[in-house]
Amino acid sequence: MLLGLGRGKSFPLSLGEARINIQSVSDLGTLQSCIIDINEELMIPPLLGHTPFLVDVGANIGQWTASVKLFLPDAQVLAVEPDPRSFDRLKSNVSNLSGVECINCAAGSEPGYAPLYRQPLSTMSTLQPSSGDALDDVLEVLIQPLDDLLQEADNIDLLKIDVEGSELDVLRGCKRSLEHSALLLVEISLARGSTNGINFLAELKQLQPKARIIKFGRPLGHRSQPLCQDVLLALN
């Protein structure tokens, strides 16, 4: 498979009921990381019931959503992805899964539109480009606050945010949703533009005084200057 991916071929990969179309080594690596991280962060020890409601913000092509459904087939998932190309793949990859709803937009503090800078690795596409990001593939995408998307949701078992530098903007549009969420899994940016993960955690603490860190994931990037890191928090 790896040789074929290097030559531009794609491969269908069954993951439980999902059928993921793998088009690059990055697709495969991200899927593998999601499976490992979900097992380590959420399943050992078990933090979710058998039928949780989860929100996947920055769903890309569905690697995290499909991995959750592998462990928890009765989970209900709302998957949010702004890039139309990734969104089409997301819908296709989760089409065999029950209980998954997909929404094509970005999350933010206010409704509107903003430029999305698409990167060669689609998982790195961002609304907040830094000096090392590509700027030549850009399109306007819809922005919606999570509080608008989740206005009827009163029990969110886990809110996952992976938005490549826009964490604070997403946070400022989901104050109500946080009040109704048990767990928050966020990839905080450590070295991307002016984004600072400590600022995110400080502002989250103001909004949710009871928030506490349960676990840190492994840092991603060079050891001396990691780009990002997962943080799992209990909110109540």
Check pLDDT > 70 for residue 213: yes
d(CA 208, CA 83): 30
Given this model, what pLDDT does residue 56 score?
98
Q: Which residues contact 214 (CB under 8 A, 6 or more apart)?
A: 47, 183, 232, 233, 234
Enter the pTM of the model: 0.95
Q: Could you give the percent of the chain with pLDDT greater than 90?
A: 81
Structural domain boundaries in the chain: 11-24+40-108+147-234
Given this model, what pLDDT does residue 45 score?
87
CATH 3.40.50.150 fits 11-24+40-108+147-234, yes or no: yes
- Average pLDDT over every residue of 118-138: 92
d(CA 69, CA 55): 13
What are the structure tokens assigned to 110, written together? 């206010």
| DSSP bridge partners of 161 | 57, 186
- Average pLDDT over every residue of 172-196: 87
CA 130 to chain centre: 19
Taking the CA atoms of residue 103, residue 186, residue 94 and residue 34 in that order, the dihedral angle to the nearest 10 degrees is: 160
